[in-house]
Structure 1
Amino acid sequence: MLTRYKAWANELVFSMVMGLPYEEAVRQRTTRFGNMVHTLNHVYVIDSVFQAHIQGRKHGYTARNTSDHPPLDELWDVVRALDEWYVGFANGMSPEDLDRSIHFNFIGGGEGVMTCNEMILHVVNHGTYHRGFVGDMMYQAGVTPLATDLPVFLRDVPQEFD
């Protein structure tokens, strides 16, 4: 359910940002990643890093964001594909699989260990956190963002549980 929520919320946020003039989406603002698109790119980078951890492979990133971001439509394409991967991965996991511990190295240095379940929870929470920053930037652009809260998802999207 959480991965489906994340995909739904990303679809809403990307549709809102794509509905803005591109200059607004990339306007430099006083925020950690500078603009809406670069903030969404950071979320993609971290989602990719944790996918690699789950798959037991190297991710190739040396920082938690790239120096630049792709065009918004290209970013949305790769985010949507990664969201689909997370939904499919989570749907295919047994409780035992989700409790599997994974050892990894943090980008900033140091070792970590988390279960698959904890990694999924992290990417969901992390995305929610940064979508909040994008929402704030939308307010700065004079646009009231749509609600992307979990209760709204549960109310508006039919839930199918296996």
Structure 2
Amino acid sequence: MEKNGLSSLGIIFMQCSAAIRGWVKQSLNIDMRCIEELSSGAIYCQLLDMIYENVVPLKDVVFATNRITIFRKNFIVLQKCLEQLEIPIEVPIEDLVWCDFEANLAFAVEFFKIFRTLSSSCEKRMLTYKALTARNYQKFSMDPPTLVSRGTEIPNLEELEKNFTS
């Protein structure tokens, strides 16, 4: 059943997208507007750096780019660090770098689950982590092109949910 032009799966995608974006915004103090911004791999690298000091070579991560070749390099840095730490998560690089909403959302959810588990053992580092300083004051940016995400079309998800369930 559809209401407001959205299926229940579409609403779930949007709610999940909002939750992930909120977590990233709060963790890294950035303005993230859509899930596809995760396509660069840089955000994952910095999130992993929040947990493991001196494991992720943030100097090798490019934070402001819209080039798929750089996205791949960032994800290779991430993948090597995950392998070094023996963290069991598959990184579908080619699906992620093409800014696919579903692929990025699915990977973000998996990464979030692992992050929550791993970060519980290093709460002090998490509280004192200076995200901006760690990335040498670089901004996260994929401009241009401007991305329009299916996960950001409805500004008030609570209102959407009320309308959908009524």
Common topology (TM > 0.5): no
TM-score (norm 2): 0.35
